[in-house]
Structures are given as C-alpha cells and as structure tokens.
Structure 1
C-alpha cells in the first residue's frame, strides 16, 4: 500500500470504475503572507497610488486567503524589470519564465504522487497535462514526460487554457481513459503560475486587483486507474459519473486574451450570481446518477474548487449546506489562494487528511465540482473509499 494508509479501512472499489490511487502537490519557493502582499506588490511595481492601495487591502481581506506560493520574486524582477512597466511587449520574457517554472513544479508534484503510489514510473501508460500558464510546441506534456522519464509510448493529452475548471476536466478525461483502456494507469498533472498575467496596478483596470488578491501558483498530480491491484495499490476515491455543462451566452463573464503584455483576464462581478443561478440544476442531475435527490445535499461530501469566497458562500446558501460541508475548499483557499486547475487536488488531499486525523468522515458519496471559462461547469459524482 501507499503512504496514506492511516484510515481504519478501505471500501472495495468497483473494478469497472476509475479510481484515484494517489495525489501529489508542489509549490514554488516564494511564500507570500497575505498581510504583507499589498506593500510588496506596490513596491515591486513602483506604484504609489493610495486609492488603489486601499482597494487592494480591502480585497485581500475579503478573499479569506492567508498564504500563497508564487513564482514571482525580486530576482525575476531584477532580471526582467520590464514586467513591472505598463505597456511594454513582454510575452516572450513571460513565457521563458513560465515554461521553466510550470515544468519544474509539474515534475515535483508528479514525483510526489508517484512516490505515494509506490509503483514504477514505467507503469504509467497515459499522461493528461493541464495548464493555462504556457503556450509552446511541443507542449508541456512532452517536457513533463521527458522530465519524469516516462516511456516513449506513453499516450499524452494536453489541455490548455481551461482555467479553473481544468483540474476537474482533466480528471474527467483521465476517468474515460482509465475505464476504456484495461490495465492503464493515467498520470494527471496540473501546473499554473500567475506570472503570465502579472501587471502593475492601473486605475483604469481596477478589476486586475482581484487577481492580485486571490490567485496563487503551484502544481498538482493524481494517478487514476480502474481495478486496483491487490496490495500494490490503494484506491481513495471512485469516480462514478462525470458531466460537463456550459451556460449559454456567458462566454464574456471570464474573458482572457493573450496580448503582447501577457495574458489579460477580466472577471465580471456577476460570476458568483451565474454560478448560484445554475448550480442546483447541475448538481441535481449529477446526484441523480447515484440515486440521490435535493434532500440529500447534506448527506454527501462536497469537494468544490474554491474560485473565491463569494462562490463558496453563494453555493452554501443556495443549497443550504451545513458549514462543515465546504471546509476542505475553504481551507485550500486560505492556504494556497485560487491556484487555478491545481486547487481541486489540494481540496481532495485535505478531505483525505480530515479522515486520517479522526475528524468527521461519514459521507461515502459526494461531488467534485469546478467552474471555469464558458461559463463551464465540471462535475464528477464520486464515492469515497476511505473510512
């Protein structure tokens, strides 16, 4: 068995369903305390605008984020001072930094995951790689495969620019691969850095400050496979049914464009409201595949990508969830910020940690959820196999 065997026992997995066999994570070396972010950001961008500084201070408190990891450092700004200057073409420089950073983090997260899985790296048959922080040919999937020493016949799939829903989209794809290729073992890796969108503050773009206050960097990894092998593998979550929906005419709510100055994101204020308006129908459909209904909201677990506190608060209110139902999501947000596609890995790991630490862990069935550009809803009805 892997290194996560502190639970009392494990339920038997359906051999026809994909399961999560291991999780791993990795982060850059720069740890940012939210209390010190504002002064550091304005110093690094040579800006002295009291009004914007006050606005960012308010946003930092509202996000509930306490710590985050970031690739950006004083050394990078010393070597690339143009990143902190408005209007300069810097995409080439950003991609140079991002490509190296996301590959290194993805390698570290994957190695951590493979170590917990405790099988040889040569047993990996498929790779799904997710990132919204790079753009190159060949893609990050090949660079990761090379860095890990994967077999040349490993079948690779690349998901670029899926945003915050990318982690669950990748998990849905890995589930399909695992269930349709007997004996396969899929490595899902996600890696993100905010450097591709780093900008100095601008009074004409106050919405940029939301990202400054909320987003973080890191990587995540999972091993997915069906029919776990005897004593060699431990299955933690069984992936029962996966669905995806998009909200019509909502494509401008999360708007991202690659420009000569990096990637530019715009998040409309009505994003939480759109999620609130559509979340119930989506969840009822997904829960129905397991025979659950609306009255069962508090009888299942919720592994939700923490896009921000407003999204979590509105979900909690709309579905009348008990306060502890989103505990893992809120903890991930507090510790890492919104780290894009990676964050669902951190949420699932916290759910496992709660069970190992003897905290309440009674719900066998639950939902893995994420929301991204589109507006796209990704969801997986999931069975927890640890007790």
Structure 2
C-alpha cells in the first residue's frame, strides 16, 4: 500500500442506532413458529434445534402480537392460516412504523456528529423490507428539517450488504464533491415478513432476523474533535456460482426469503483472495467489523482469517442481543466497536468492514479508528488507503 496525502479525511463522524420497544426472547419466537407444526414433529424438532444454535438470544420487533400467544399472532398462527396478513397489510405497518424508528436513529447520528440538519447535502435511505412512495427519504427530509434541495439516493431491496454499500457510496459522494455531508439512514422491519414455515430451508431465514434502524453521518473530518472512523478504499464483488443461494422475492403474504445452508462455506472459500486484493500487500488489521448474517457466517470468517475471539465479539454480541438486522447490522457493529475503543482510550487502529447480501454480494471496506486526541492534532501524514 502506498499512502497518499489526503486533507479531507472522509469519515463516519457519528452513528445512531434504534431498536423497537417490543423485545422478544428467542425461545418465545421458537414456540410461536413451531405451534403450527404439531402434525410435523420432525420439522418442529429441526426448528427448535436451528433456533437454539443460531447464536440469537433476543430480538426486537415493531409488531406487538409476537409477544402474545399463537392464537393472538396473525403472523405465526396456530391452526387456521386464512387470516395471515397480506403483503398490503404488512406494507401498511411498515409505512406506519419505519419513519419513527428511522428518525430516532438519524437524530442520534446528527447529534453525535455535531451536524445541523441544514448541513446535510445528500440523504441515502436504505431498506429491503418495505417500500412506498413518496417514501422514507421524503418523510425524513420533512421531519428532520433537512433542506428540500437535499439530494436523495434511495437504495432499495439490496439486502444485508446495503448498509455498507451506502457507507461506501457516501464516501464516494464526499470525495467527488468536497464539502458535502451525507446522512445515511437504514430501516429494516424484518419481522413483518415472518410466515408459518413448512420447509426446512425457510427456517434458516426465520431463525435470526429482527427489526432496527441505524444511521450515520459521513463527511470531512477537519475540525472534528470527537472520535471518528476514517473511510478507506473498498469495493463490491459478486461471488461466482451463488445466484440462487440467497433470494428475496415479493409474495402474497410478505416477502419470501431463502437462504442456502452452504452460504458460510462459500463465503469462506472466496473471502481470502478478495481480502488479499483489498489489503494490497498490507498486514492484517486489528479491527474486524463483520456483518453477522448468522452464527455460521461469523464462524466461517473467523476460521478462514484466523481471527481471535475478541476480534469477532462485536459481531457476535449484536447477533446474540438483537439478531440479524439486515442492512442496519454493520452500523450496530461499528457503533459498538467505537464505543468500546473510546472507553479504553485506544490509540488509532486500522480495520476491515464486510457485509454480505443477495448475489451473493460481498461488500468490503478498509477503515481507521481515529480517537479524539489524534483527530484534533492531524498532521501532514494523514492519508486514506489506496
């Protein structure tokens, strides 16, 4: 890697996260989902095993009926399935619930970054769990008090990798238009798409997804005196022979997700050469922000890269305490990492972020944690990674 002078230091200046108020133990979701499988005892046993072993203890949802009995939950009912919510009903709930959650995360990110709403020049909104128009981008501009001339860039239906893709897009915007400040807002209400499961393959998708919102502000780091994440080089890559291993399609009763159990192994086999390309001969960094698409994915990445347990703990903690939050998850991981580094008065450290989605797509990006005491004493040696 040959460092180059960089006086803009495009960085994540602040991150905000938000979870719905309804917290559900994994055991409760397991019982709801298996309550309609009395005539399929083998599938019920398989479901309980998958739900116990996927690395999730707790999830959050905007739908309060998941906290009730099977008779009260239309999404995972026992017995008669004729009253399951249609896709139209689910989108009505998304439209009602997505904005408040997105606003909560965005306001935290703006405050953390010291950014006034009128300073935002671009808004990137991300979701694969709901759509309507005028959409979340328009509503956020109005509710946050952003300029009506804010450039809106919605990323829709790109899956779990979209959060990191949005961060890299924001980096490119600021590099191409110095002085820009980009607000990224991800909202995913995954639990609105839960349905009674009749096949083993569908259980993998139902076992670990939860609802959340996450936001960040990306801009130049001059005169920014708080801790930040300097954004380095990165790219997106389609992995070979994997198109059908992760699919997300609109059905009559929500969106239908399929996840192949061979995804962790596939990621492991292709990740090393891609990281070699990303690092371009540099040594392995200390920090690893891995999207926890499931326990098996984190296990596979840790194994092939020979990472220590403490290097994957942020990913595992988010998965255990909130589940897979689709595009929001990578920002939850980065936020937890920054909070921990800040609490330890850590020195600057380099890292790699990665997230995975349909395609199969891998998003890879280098970054550097810069503590406040360093950010206020920037020198001519500051650089990004090429």
Q: Same fold (TM over 0.5)?
A: yes
Structure 2 residue aligned with 1:345, among 331, 335, 338? Answer: 331
1:65 aligns with 2:59: no
The residue number in structure 2 matching 1:375 is 360
More moved, 208-217 vs 185-194: 208-217
Cα 1:337–1:284 shift into 2, 3 Å: same
Matched, 1:284 2:276: yes
Whether 1:323 and 2:309 are equivalent positions in the alignment is: yes
3-state SS of the aligned residue for 1:214? coil
Q: Secondary structure at the match of 2:241?
A: coil
1:173-204 deviation per Cα after TM superposition (whole angstroms, max 9, x unaligned): 111111112211110110101244210132xx
Q: 1:178 aligns with which of 164, 174, 177?
A: 174
Aligned length: 362
Equivalent in the alignment of 1:56: 47
Counterpart residue number, 2:246: 254
SS class of match (1:23): strand
Structure 1 pair 236–82 and aligned structure 2 pair: CA distance change class (3 A): closer
Match in the other structure for 2:124: 128
Give TM-score scaled by structure 1 length. Answer: 0.87
State how far apart, in whole Å, the 2-side matches of 1:89 and 1:349 are. 34
Residue of 18, 22, 29 corresponding to 2:14? 22
| TM-score normalised by length of structure 2 | 0.87
Equivalent pair of 2:342/2:371 in contact (CA under 8 Å)? no
- The CA deviation at 1:80 is 8.5
Instruction: In structure 1, list runs of 5 or more residues that go unmatched.
Output: 1-12
How many Å separate the matches in 2 of 1:83 and 1:221?
30
1:196-225, Cα deviation, whole Å (9 max, x unpaired): 4210132xx222222222111100000000
- Counterpart of 2:217 in structure 1 is 223
The match for 1:301 among 287, 293, 297 is 287
**Inter-CA distance 81–301: structure 2 relative to 1 (3 Å threshold):** closer
Structure 2 gap segments, 5+ residues each: 373-386
Q: CA RMSD in A?
A: 2.4
Aligned partner of 1:198 in structure 2 is 194
Identify the match of residue 141 of structure 2 among 145, 150, 154.
145
User: Structure 1 198/86 Cα, relative in aligned 2: closer, same or farther at 3 Å?
Assistant: farther
Asked if structure 2 preserves the Cα contact closer than 8 Å seen for 1:89 and 1:260, the reply is no
Query: What does residue 107 of structure 2 align with?
Result: 111
- Paired residue for 1:10? none
Aligned mates of 2:96, 2:67 — CA distance in 1: 13
Give 1:252 shift.
0.8
CA distance in 2 between partners of 1:285 and 1:75 (Å): 44
Aligned counterparts of 2:96 and 2:352: Cα–Cα separation in 1: 34
